[in-house]
Structure 1
Amino acid sequence: MIVNIQCAIFLFIAVKLEKVSVLSGRTAELPCDITPPTLDSLYLVLWYKNNSDFPIYNYRQQEIQRDNQMLLLQQQQQHGQESSAGRIHFQFDSHPALLLLSNVGDPDEGDYRCRVDFGRSPTRNVLVQLTVVVPPQKIRIIEDNRQVSSVIGPYDEGDQLSLNCIVTGGRPRPEVSWWLNDKLVDHTYMATSENVVQNILVIPQLERHHLHAILRCQASNYFGVHNNTVQLDLNLRPLWVLINGAEKPLSVGKSYTFECITGGSRPSVNVRWYLHSIQQPSKERITMDGSNTTSTLKLMPTAKDHDAELICLAINPVLAVRNGSIENNGTISSVETRRKLIVHFAPTAELELGRNLKPDSIAEGNDVYFDCRIRSNPPPLRFLWTHEGQTIRENAAAGVIIVEQSLVIRRVSRSHSGRYSCTAVNTEGSGVSNTVQLRVMFQPVCRPGQKILYGVAKHETVVVQCQTDAIPPAHSHRWAFNTSLSDVEGAAEADGTSVISFSPQSDRDYGSLICWARNVIGEQREPCVYRIFLGVRPDPPSNCSVLNQTAEAVEVWCRPGFDGGHPQLFQFEIFDTQSAVLLYNKSGRYPHLRVGNLESGIKLFIQVSAFNQRGRSPLVPLEAYTIKIADKQTGKNKHFP
């Protein structure tokens, strides 16, 4: 593309300024008017780049008189850097003449001057500003420091969405914009470095209409538009819920059927029935289109249900898990409806934690008590208390005291955590209370089953994790090596876990790393100990056996040996015993292999070994065979996987 800008005078030499833009890799056409004035002739054309005193190209034309005719002798010569050799051509017979520069790149950008000398007329100068346009190299969509593509989500209805479109490369600097279903929604972009432009899109609250919406990041510069798109997936809360069923007074001992119908959720809801905060068993069915869910409850009321509310709660299971609750009163993940029941009085029980207790602040060593509130006619004859479904018996020596409607536990420990309930019994029957969850906070203890052996060579680095169980989780850790009194520095904290990188430099650096975790209750009493030793090659697998031999398959099972302190893999090699031909060779994470499509009636020799970054274990040899079948069956084509 050529744009005439202006005419100017530089040092009393006529100058014409042109601007040329060309896409990287294409051919640039730099114009220069070499047409001589009337009654004059072209003598010399010189091309210069930037402020160089040496031409990159010259074109000389001479006239020679022969046989009363004018002949033109043309001489062309190229100068300049080696990178331009063979790429410069002068097209003198076009109008205007063009200096063709093929396969242009970044180094070719700059100011070019065409000097035209005539036989008698003043020298003409043409300035050409060449801009090399480079399309964007990469368009990335980033969310939470992670590149995303295709379908993203699912997000929760009501979530805030923040996407960063990062465009790398491109000259002139591309404009970066966001489009929602082909509608421009954000054109505010900024350059974060010389060749990086970004546009951060923020949707404060995702709504139902955003489901399956297409978000497109568009980067546009001089020569075109480049895009990267993602599609939104959403989890939607249910819209409505209703209860169908008997509305007249209910009689104790009779069965009644209620239906709860709900719709609008994505994915389909889980329906839960509650009476006195106790979940009731029910059955669900989902319509063919997945939009509506119907749950059926068969209820045989008791007197405790008088004036109680029957609750149908439609819960989006995904939203419930993400928001940390499945019973959130219809605010985020669920919607509910209630019906008040009218029945006769009978024993009902409601369990509460002591009024002066804060459920989130109970720690080991505290005293805890529960109150069981009873509505009963006649009055209850006795009370029962349960912990995680097990009956609690009074044991004053152990600190468990039961006084009619109250349960007292002295100096609780973490073993007392769990669900508690009470039951009232009278001549009409029994009534079971709601459950109360007791959460006892305790100091950190080492998490069982974590890795405690680490094999590492000198000057290598091993990452050790200190994992503990605690309520609430640990907020800080300290490390020590062996029995040293000084702490080891450099650990990182994340989600109650401490991570430290350790690199032995000498034999003295092998030993034990010791970790103490601390939460609001205090520092753990027994630290976690991690052994750091010189890594070795693994032990061979043990107890290897051949199982399930058929006409075309065998199965091998082994028990893994010591891994030498490094992750190990297992290799299986299967040979035809008679021909010694390797039939199968496979490595994997587990010491178990099943091989099919084998020829029937052959003997097999199997070698099993383990290996890690330190080497390979000794081989474990095994013998096996495939069962021989009738000749007419063995004629099938067999092949190895």
Structure 2
Amino acid sequence: MFTYPVFIKLTGPEGEMSDGNNYSFQCESEGSNPPADLEWFLKGKKIPNPQVLKSGNSSSSNLSIIADYRLDGENVSCIVFNKELKHKKLISNHTLSIQYSPILKLTMGANLNSNKIIQGTDVFFQCSILSKPKEYKVEWYMNDERVEENISAGIIITDSSLVIQKVGLMAGGEYGCRASNIQGDGYSNKIHLNILYAPRCSRSKGSHLVPIRSRRNLTCSVDSNPQPSSYYWSINTTGQEFKLLNQTEGFLDLSTIETEGTLECFAINSIGEMQKPCSWTAVEIGIPDPPTQCKILNQSVSWMDISCNPAWDGGLDQVFHLEVYNSSPFTLIRNISNTGAPAFTVKRLEPAQHLTMTIYSSNAKGRSSVIEIESSTSKLAAAVLSDGVEEADRAEVPLGIILGVTSTLLIIIIIILLLILARRHRGESMPSDEEMEIRLSTNLLEKSRETPILTSSSLLSKPNQLERQGQKNAGKPRLLDSTEPEPGISDGRFLRSCTGTPDSQYLLHGDEYTNNEAFKEDDYKIYSPDEDTDTFSDFERKQFKGKILNPSVRNINIKINPNYM
């Protein structure tokens, strides 16, 4: 006996779905005999060939879809039926709710063509946004740089629109908008804003003088969008006579100009005629003007760069000259000429040199007046290089090295002063004597022929009678570490070396050291580089005294045989 399905259940993801993710749905049916057939529908369209599992009077099927923002609000439907009893069907729907990052489209206001925006008109952009959930931020960009609202400058921003009032030439470029929600950021298409404007003069800086009756062409250099379609030229002579020249191109042959006056050119394009013409003063050929705005750009120990702006060339090819004079004595040491530009590099100068430099131009008609600038090479460099360092071209000592050497010297001086102060602070009284005495105190930590050790403390000294009379530096000892014996002395190592005068008194304690050799002569000796060996005497409790018998001895070296202790 055939029976209808009596139950249908459609399950799917709960809550919001995210655009781009994969989701599964399941449809179940019971009560049908034979088991019910099953069909899936998405957005009202049947999904072909579903996989259906049948068992007893039950049927089930699974459906997998990728969420797409265009399916938001649409239904996934499951229909079950007994194919033997087709006139009765059960249907279950699941409405999709899909969240997605903003989708943007940028457009311009009505009657606006982004490729034909005339300078001075108002421009309106609209950013259309499709977003779920709603966007919380909208930003505008021009050439990938953020556009900020500036009402006084005519830039007005609302939630999804941008208005630029009376656009100028700087407003040209690519525009776009960006919006953000919790699903992410969305970017619009880009619109290039092309600003059209009438020609304007773009002549480079320099002299406005041009030579009449010369073999040169004068170019009417202009900026415009679109390019100029025509030109015209005029001349106002010194007698205030205006004359329109027979020339419609962007250049003028100066050989056709025979009178002095003011030359002007005008350019025209589809937007209009230039409001202010390019103008020159037409004059007779003559001597050039001197270069202007001369300055030293770079300077080192023995070289410098000098640059100027060219001036009126007199209507002829000109040459630029630099003469460098040593101030004391006043002698010419360099003479440099350039034809391309008034730019010079002066090499192989001496440190601490005061220089006077004259700069001028010349042409076939003569020489301009001169301008003078003064400068000096580094005095600090002279001190550093005074030992004869030789420089070649630009391989000189950089200023950073000079400063580094100076800083190092200052640090060394400070360290020496601190050491002197520290040693003075550590001084203690000693009995005065006409002879220099040396006490050597040793503390034997380990008695061993292989690794004998002496421990050390410090050298203490006190100025003698000469110091008490005001000569504070006289006779003050200087402590020198030494780990190698003097030449010719082979048995043992010196602990310390001490330099002073017979008027100074010392108490010496040795540093740690090892020595495997035993002395073959007396145990404690005083060695002098210039004198015969003198010996110690009178020892008790490991305290040893010795005297320098020759008062002219100033340098003594002490060594010890610890094996005797």
Task: Give yes or no for TM over 0.5.
Answer: no
> Which structure has more RCO (C-alpha within 8 Å, separation ≥ 6)?
2
The structure with more radius of gyration: 2
Q: With structure 2 as the length reference, what TM-score do the two structures score?
A: 0.42
TM-score of the superposition, structure 1-length normalised?
0.38
